[in-house]
Amino acid sequence: MKRLGYLLLIIVFAVLGFILGRSTGDILPGSSGHDGSDYPLPPPPPEEDIDVGEDGTDEAVSVGVIVEEPAENAVLYGAFRVSGRVLLPAAAVEAVLVSPDGEEIASQEGQVEADTGETYGRFDLVMTPPDQAGGKLTLQVNKADDEGDDPDMVARRHVILVKPDSVDVEVFFQNSELDPMVECDRVFSVKRQVSSQGSIYRAVLESLLQGPSDDEREEGYSSSLPSGVRLKSVAADAEGRVTADFSSRLDRGVGGSCRVTAIRAQIVATLEQFPEVNEVIIAVEGEVEEALQP
């Protein structure tokens, strides 16, 4: 009987506890009756995505010059394209190649094009580094009328210039310092690098037609070949005779035997650096007999 009494008491207390718990409300945090003040909700996500550029940078930031091409650490071969955007107003931009020691190697200006009401204008130019340039360089682009003092108005890219399939050659010019007496047939060599793809004779003659660089001119080098001359063709036969045919400008304004001799000396010496060349024939518009007459 005592066991039965104990069992009844336990049942009564259990029922009373259940009833009291329901009447006082939920006691677990996070249930519907809890105000959640001890467990605040995380902040809501932004309503709009942040506008970022292709490189992950925030393009909303005011940047004066944005270079889109070439990319950072791009490997470049010879002439290369430089394009991008610049904050208006801007009429032109200047692209400069700088060596690791800060020396300016080459520069090129490009026009800026923009529609009315635009914030940025676009630029697109082709830069041709000198033949001897190579290795790791810095490309700097800024407004043409800006000296590069404002960091927001200058963009820089590190680039690598390589010269694949190239060969060292010589081209020949007159030099007033090495030859003060200016003897007509005396010429002096300067180094060039040209592509070994295709005709090496064409490559070296086209390099000769470009004339001395600015630095070489300061050292006294000059060319007797008229400006604007084009190489029409160059061919070699089995006997080692090389015939170079030039446009008619080679004959224009070259009166006088000394000038003619100097032109011939430059062309002949440039081609005869190759040991297989035994004779050089110069033609103008296909004519040999009338070419370079004093």
Each domain of the chain, given as residue ranges in start order, spans 65-162, 166-284
268 CB contacts (<8 Å, ≥6 apart)?
Answer: 280, 282
254-292: pLDDT as tens digits:
667 898 999 999 999 999 999 999 999 999 999 988 788
Res 233: pLDDT: 94
Res 20: pLDDT: 56
pLDDT at residue 147 is higher than 60? no
Measured between alpha carbons, how far is 26 from 194 in angstroms, rounded to an integer?
88
The letter for the amino acid at 102 is G
pLDDT at residue 70 is higher than 60? yes
Domain spanning 65-162, CATH architecture = Sandwich (2.60)
Name the H helices within the chain: 2-24, 200-209, 214-218, 257-272
pLDDT at residue 55 is higher than 90? no
pLDDT at residue 78 is higher than 80? no
Measured between alpha carbons, how far is 65 from 152 in angstroms, rounded to an integer?
7
Higher per-residue pLDDT: 113 or 145: 113
Long-range contacts of 248-252 (CB under 8 A, 24+ apart): 248/284, 248/285, 250/225, 250/226, 250/284, 250/291, 250/292, 251/284, 251/290, 251/291, 251/292, 251/293, 252/226
Res 4: pLDDT: 57
158 CB contacts (<8 Å, ≥6 apart)?
Answer: 72, 73, 136, 137, 138, 139
Most confident of 41-45, 52-56, 214-218: 214-218
pLDDT at residue 59 is higher than 50? no
Give the number of C-alpha atoms closer than 13 A to the C-alpha of residue 19, restricted to the C-beta side. 6
Residues 50-62: what's their mean pLDDT?
A: 38
